[in-house]
Amino acid sequence: MYELIKSDPSSRARLGKVTTTRGVIDTPVFMPVGTQGSVKALDPRELLEMGTQIILGNTYHLNIRPGLDIITAAGDLHQFINWPKPILTDSGGFQVFSLAKIRKVKSHGVEFRSHLDGSLLFIGPKESMHIQKVLASDIAMVFDECPPHNAPAKDLKGAVERTLRWAAECRIQPRAAGQFVFGIVQGASDARLREHCAKELVAMDFDGYAIGGVSVGEPEPEMMKAVEYTEPFLPENKARYAMGLGTPAQIVELVARGVDMFDCVLPTRVARNGTAFTSKGTVSVKAGFNKSDFRPIEEGCECYACKNFTRAYLRHLLNVNEILGLRMVSVHNSHMYMQLMVNIRKALAGGYFAEFRKEYAATYIPTLKVLSARNVKPE
């Protein structure tokens, strides 16, 4: 499934590829989030044009709406949403964290009260894997327990043990044809728990491994520690996925720490609030200083928004609540993330990733006080 092409001598960064039945994914890769079967404000054509290789869907949300009957009638999730390339499905484990007020964790799974109507819904390892089998995603995630970063030590240990027990059960469930399954390492920023969880999951021999329990409200240094505590215990011949991350600057640093795959709702979420990512930091397109600025969001950007519209026009659209405004900023942000990954891969292939990393850290100024968006409501 994963092929290591080149390692960076200055860091843990890797250039590689993941081969699925629906295509090859060049890594490091960013995966736009389509929680409910759609990447917010973007259509499949736009995603393909900007070079998107894989998108995400969410087991919990798709199971509630539109439901498995509808998706089965369409064929599978790919056919239902008209997406020809790979899809990764989150297992519903993150909702154990994000919907903590309406769920009860039990030994064999989690009992939810639907966030829509309060009806009872149970998801455990068998249920999660069955849903993902019906969705026919190319990469399915094991059902895990994602605890808060500041949970007491006893609760963290319990979450890790449940995650391992549920992972073993997920491992033996039926899969869709060609479907890969990734294990998820939990343990917050506890080095011993991270090592223990990683080693136990590796012994189960999953197709790839995710670093979970990050971007759940912890400070950025703690996030980096969680990755650093986990990555050394993951096999070099398997893909590594940091769940729910991150900002452009974080992605560069996490690539340097050996991560291959990323997802985050930030590109489209902040776009809907009028904020654009650029290679040098963020800019508020809605701000008054753009009222008569007839430059694009970012000079030299090849996205449709920058090639066709000015900051002044986009600001006008956003301030009068025209849908085109938020769509175009979403196009720009998503394109910017895709181009970042292209540039990272080029730097790794060309042997100048160390210089790229140093320059990015020196010139990227995060004017937006957001570390990631996985600790708030889903897309």
* DSSP at 379: -
Confidence of residue 295 (pLDDT cuts 50, 70, 90): very high
Catalytic residue among 138, 155, 263, 293: 263
CA proximity to 139, closest of 203, 77, 49, 70: 77
Distance of alpha carbon 163 from alpha carbon 118, whole angstroms: 26
* H-state helical runs in the chain: 44-49, 59-64, 68-74, 77-81, 94-98, 125-135, 153-171, 191-204, 220-230, 248-256, 266-272, 304-308, 311-319, 323-350, 353-363
**Bridge partner residues of 263 (DSSP):** 31
Confidence of residue 379 (pLDDT cuts 50, 70, 90): low
Angle between helix 248-256 and 353-363 (nearest 10): 150
CA proximity to 107, closest of 164, 173, 182: 164
Kindly state the average pLDDT of the residues 170-180. 98
Distance of alpha carbon 29 from alpha carbon 334, whole angstroms: 13
Give me 65's structure tokens: 């709406």
Asked if pLDDT for residue 174 goes beyond 90, the answer is: yes
pTM listed for this prediction: 0.95
Q: Which helix H or strand E contains 262, and what residues bound it? A: strand 261-264
Q: For the segment 201-245, what is each residue's pLDDT rounded down to a tens digit?
A: 999 999 999 999 998 989 999 999 999 999 999 999 999 999 999
Task: Answer yes or no: are the C-beta atoms of 181 and 171 closer than 8 Å.
Answer: yes
Average pLDDT for the chain: 95
Task: Answer yes or no: are the C-beta atoms of 222 and 149 closer than 8 Å.
Answer: yes
Task: Answer yes or no: are the C-beta atoms of 173 and 91 closer than 8 Å.
Answer: no
Confidence of residue 378 (pLDDT cuts 50, 70, 90): low
CA proximity to 139, closest of 263, 246, 234: 263
Q: For the segment 67-97, what is each residue's pLDDT rounded down to a tens digit?
A: 999 999 999 999 999 999 999 999 988 888 7
Asked if pLDDT for residue 277 goes beyond 50, the answer is: yes
Q: Is residue 26 annotated as a catalytic residue, yes or no?
A: no
Give me 289's structure tokens: 């200083």
Number of helices and strands in the chain (H, E): 15, 16
Catalytic residue among 90, 138, 144, 190: 90
Task: State the pLDDT at residue 98.
Answer: 84
Task: Answer yes or no: are the C-beta atoms of 109 and 91 closer than 8 Å.
Answer: no
For residue 287, the tally of other CB atoms under 10 A from its CB is 13
CA proximity to 91, closest of 69, 65, 123: 123
Kindly state the average pLDDT of the residues 269-280. 96
Asked if pLDDT for residue 327 goes beyond 70, the answer is: yes
What single letter denotes the amino acid at residue 339?
A: Q
Range with the lowest mean pLDDT among 307-311, 355-359, 371-375? 371-375
Give me 326's structure tokens: 């938020």
Give me 70's structure tokens: 């509808």
Give me 249's structure tokens: 């600057």
Residues 6+ apart with CB under 8 A from 245: 214, 215, 223, 251, 254, 259, 262, 263, 264, 372, 374
CA proximity to 238, closest of 10, 17, 12, 7: 17
Domain spanning 2-264, CATH class: alpha beta
Range with the lowest mean pLDDT among 62-71, 123-132, 145-154, 224-233? 145-154
In the numeric block, the tokens 């996490």 are attached to 254
> Which residue ranges make up each domain of the chain?
2-264, 271-363
Q: Is residue 263 annotated as a catalytic residue, yes or no?
A: yes
